[in-house]
Amino acid sequence: MNASQFANEFAEGFAALDKHNLARLAELYHPQIHFTDPLHDVNGLEALRSYCENLYSNVSDLQFEFLQCSGIDEGQAMLRWNMRYSHPRLAGGKTICVPGCTLIQFRDGKVYRHIDYYDAGALLYEHLPVLGRVIAWLKRRLA
């Protein structure tokens, strides 16, 4: 299977995850997975499962829409996505959309390195009551 095919299958499996089927992480990830995003650095499948359990317990809804999955070379791919989520204490509970991309490295049919790139402000900080207004003011001043 080439890198683009693997990326598409991974995206399909990842998008199907929810709080009820996190055991499926083992189908996607190597036991020594190293997962990184702008707010977290997680090592190992059990730690990743705990991270995901916490994530799903704090949101009302969470969905990933994969827009593009491209193989870079053998064992490496880039995925572009939109994450939509709602949290009762952010943005009045309305759906928030955050674009991002993921670099995955894989071997033997499992991802061993997952790096997410997205704007942490757009994910969280801009939607906090006081801090969000400060960030919006700063953005207007810098524009």
Per-residue model confidence as pLDDT tens digits over 90-127: 667 788 888 999 999 999 999 999 999 987 665 554 54
29-37 and 40-43 strand pairing: antiparallel
Q: What is the chain's length? A: 143
Residues 98 and 88: their CA atoms lie apart, in Å, by: 17
Sheet containing strand 76-86, edge to edge, reads 40-43, 29-37, 110-118, 96-107, 76-86, 61-73
What is the pTM (predicted TM-score) of this model?
0.83
Q: Where are the domains of the chain?
A: 3-142
> What architecture does CATH give domain 3-142?
Roll (3.10)
Full pLDDT tens readout for the chain, 143 residues: 799 999 999 999 999 999 999 999 999 999 999 999 988 999 999 999 999 999 888 888 889 999 999 998 889 999 999 999 887 776 677 888 889 999 999 999 999 999 999 876 655 545 455 555 555 555 566 66
